[in-house]
Amino acid sequence: MALNPIRTLPTAQPGPTRLYLRDEELVAGIAAFFDVEARLKAAGEAARATHELTWGQVRALLALSQAPDTVMGLAFRLSVTKQALTRTLEELESRGLVARTADPRDRRRRQTTLTPAGSQLLMSLTAPMRQTLAAAYRAAGGEAVAGCDRLVAALVRLPGPGGGAGS
């Protein structure tokens, strides 16, 4: 799969730090995030196919590597239906990659976690993606890495589907 070259984002003008961006800068940023997704998927495609996983299963494993969750909580974080996620988790559970146990805070609910085998597979699966991301971080430099980390953390904390505050 040939990828388009990275779009050139508009550069900030010298002067005081701006607290806003123009619409065309925001659109370029959105396009850049989709380019990043495509590049990371391209880097991990061979490993994903080798492990015979769907990208939906990969997303579930990645999300669970960050925090165990209930089916409803995980469905909200991933912006998928409970029914679709249940099928995904059943397949991952049958392969020994995730486990569903009683939630220690509420025994009526089931908590989904990665198993040690799931964690090991995820490390193997993400190795080429981690290499790609590490190379980009090295090329960007420390200040850019810190800024990127702040931006991504702010995006994840936004309320609503896939975000933190509304979760």
Contacts of 34 (CB under 8 A, 6+ apart): none
Kindly list the structural domains of the chain, giving each domain's residue range(s) and its CATH number in brackets, ordered by start. Answer: 23-157 (1.10.10.10)
Nearest to 66 by CA among 128, 142, 118: 118
pLDDT above 90 covers a percentage of the chain that reads: 59
Residue 101 is encoded by which pair of tokens? 């146990």
Q: What mean pLDDT comes out for the span 87-97? A: 97
pLDDT at position 17 is 67
What confidence tier does 165 reach under pLDDT thresholds 50, 70, 90? very low
pTM of the model: 0.79
Nearest to 55 by CA among 78, 32, 34, 86: 78
Lowest mean pLDDT among 13-17, 66-70, 134-138: 13-17
pLDDT, tens digit (0-9, with 9 covering 90-100), for 102-146: 877 787 888 999 999 999 999 999 999 999 999 999 999 988 888
